[in-house]
Amino acid sequence: MITARFFDGQSAEAQIVTLQIEGDLLRIAAADRVWEWPIGRVSAEPGGNGGARLSYGAAGDARLVLDPEAAAALRLRAPGVFDPSRRQGAQLGLALGLIAIAGALVLGFVFGLPRLAAPIARATPPTIEARIGDTARGQLSLLGFKPCLDPAGIEAQAALQRLADEIATIARSPFPIRVEFVDASLPNAFALPGGTVVVTNGLLSIAKTPEEIAAVLGHEIAHVTRRHSMVNVIRAIGAQFVLMSVTGVSGGGGGDIVGIAAGLAGNAHSRAAEAEADRLSIAYLHEAGYDPAGLGRFFERLSAGRTALAAQDAEAGEAETTDAETVVEAKPTRSNVRKALELWSSHPLHDARVDNATSQIAQLPGRGYQPAFSEAEWTAMNAACPPSVDENAILRRLRRAFGDKTTDKDLPPPAAPAPPAQ
């Protein structure tokens, strides 16, 4: 006879019971009551020192507690109760099911979400995109992007706007293009949703010909016409929502895993958008009558500048930069390594962009080109908002690397502090 302790789920009182197997039933007999549990539906969980605790779903919180001897005895008579294969099978099914769901999520993340983002962006009414762009402009000014308002800056702004209007007409932009020429040392140009194109004076100091600036402007206007910024907004928000739906608000460690996957997927689509903008820029400029070769030259300059930076670092014995693109440009790496590194970049490699631009331009029908800016406009651009001595060392190195021969000594002294108000 097997004896055990039984808790009926109604009180904490233990009852001493005897156990019998009758057919498919486990018969639990107390002094004044009997319970019958179907053996096939009894679950066992291990107790201490080889004991076990048995439960049966329909019996609620009732528990049958077996000491090691009782468990061993029952195991001989009803081995099915202790059969772990049922539970293991369910766990395996669960794990496989969740892996399948995770795989579907990854596919949706990498392929579905980006593909959905473009049609959604193009279906978004331009007024909504323009409003998002207005908000982004407000946020930029909070971040310290101030317009370059010295006389040369105002002239440069007008010249950029004039050229942008010409290109926008050819591009049939859904938005009027509004160029914001800002006083920021970092060489950059970018398009906001809704038609605003921001150009920094740092960018002008790197470009050496008007056609290079025109090419960059055409590139950004292509982003506007193809609504790439809006696609990015939708993709980023969608990715964030999917990420939170899977990992929760904080993300935790799992958020990092999903975030890396999202980043790689986003980079792939970002590189495609950049390549498309390069292609369209060349087409716009050619149609407008400006030499599109400035695009390739600008990327060559960027590439040479990065190589020069890396060389400077090597000469100075400094640690290698963490910028993946710089590493790619500076070292003769194998092509598969270069491709691997490109995965981590949001932009295509410069030399690939140069090659693509060169081959696209070679296929264009011949025609005469006019200068993108007049001499007066170009002079104003080069004089607009000169760099101040307080820009940091990294930016000084960047300028030199990109061909700026100005030394710190050549820079104007810092403005004298204003006299105190009387």
Partner 1 sequence: MDMQATSGESRSVEIAYTQNPWSLAPLSLLNWGLTIVTLTLYRFWAKTEVRKRIWAAVEIDGEALSYLGKGSEKLLGFIIAMVGLLPIFGLIYGAQLFLPPLIAVGIILPTYLVFFWLVYFGQFAALRYQLTRTLWRGVRFGQSGKATGFAWVSMGYFFSNLVCMLWLTPLMDMAMARRLYGKITLGDRAMTWRAGDGQSETAGLYPRFALAWFSGVGIYIGGIVLMVVVIGVLMASGNFPEQGAQPDLVTSVIIGIGIYGFAFLLVFAVLLAVLNYSLAVVRRSAQMLQLDGLRFDFVARFWPTMGLLVTNGLILLFSLGSLSAVTEARMMQFLVRHLTVHGAYEPGAFFRGTQSVPQSGEGLADAFDIGAGVFN
Contact residues for partner 1, defined by CB under 8 A:
3, 5, 7-16, 45-49, 53, 55, 61-63, 65, 67, 91, 94-95, 98-99, 101-102, 105-106, 131-132, 135, 138-139, 142, 233, 237, 240-241, 244-255, 257-258
Bridge partner list, 147: 182
Whether 9 and 61 have beta carbons less than 8 Å apart is answered as yes
Q: What is the smallest separation between the CB atom of 406 and partner 1, expressed in angstroms?
A: 19
Nearer to partner 1, 119 or 252 (CB): 252
Nearer to partner 1, 131 or 339 (CB): 131
Rg (CA), the chain: 35
Nearer to partner 1, 62 or 324 (CB): 62
Spacing of C-alpha 310 from chain mean position: 26
Nearer to partner 1, 246 or 275 (CB): 246
Q: In terms of residues, how long is the chain?
A: 422
CA distance 268 to 341: 12
Pick from 266, 246, 250, 280: nearest CA to 343: 266
H helix intervals, 108-209 = 113-123, 126-142, 151-171, 201-206
Q: What is the smallest separation between the CB atom of 80 and partner 1, expressed in angstroms?
A: 21
Q: What is the smallest separation between the CB atom of 228 and partner 1, expressed in angstroms?
A: 16
Among 220, 325, 329, 377, which one carries the catalytic annotation?
A: 220
CA distance 72 to 49: 11
CA distance 85 to 3: 26
Tokens of 310: 């890396």
Q: Is 220 a catalytic residue?
A: yes
Whether 216 and 381 have beta carbons less than 8 Å apart is answered as no
Q: What is the smallest separation between the CB atom of 388 and partner 1, expressed in angstroms?
A: 15
Q: What is the smallest separation between the CB atom of 331 and partner 1, expressed in angstroms?
A: 29
Pick from 183, 192, 195, 177: nearest CA to 147: 183
Bridge partner list, 181: 199
Please give the order of strands across the beta sheet that includes 189-191: 178-182, 196-200, 189-191
Nearer to partner 1, 253 or 419 (CB): 253
Q: What is the smallest separation between the CB atom of 413 and partner 1, expressed in angstroms?
A: 14
Q: What is the smallest separation between the CB atom of 256 and partner 1, expressed in angstroms?
A: 10
Nearer to partner 1, 245 or 336 (CB): 245
Pick from 244, 345, 202, 359: nearest CA to 296: 359
Nearer to partner 1, 162 or 397 (CB): 397
Q: What is the DSSP string of 108-129?
A: IIIIIHHHHHHHHHHHS-HHHH
Q: What is the smallest separation between the CB atom of 394 and partner 1, expressed in angstroms?
A: 15
Q: What is the DSSP string of 286-355?
A: HHHTB-THHHHHHHHHHHHHHHHHHHHHHHHTPPPPS-HHHHHHHS---HHHHHHHHTT-SS--HHHHHH
Nearer to partner 1, 104 or 337 (CB): 104
Angle at 346 between CA 341 and CA 348, to 5 degrees: 70
Catalytic residue numbers read: 220
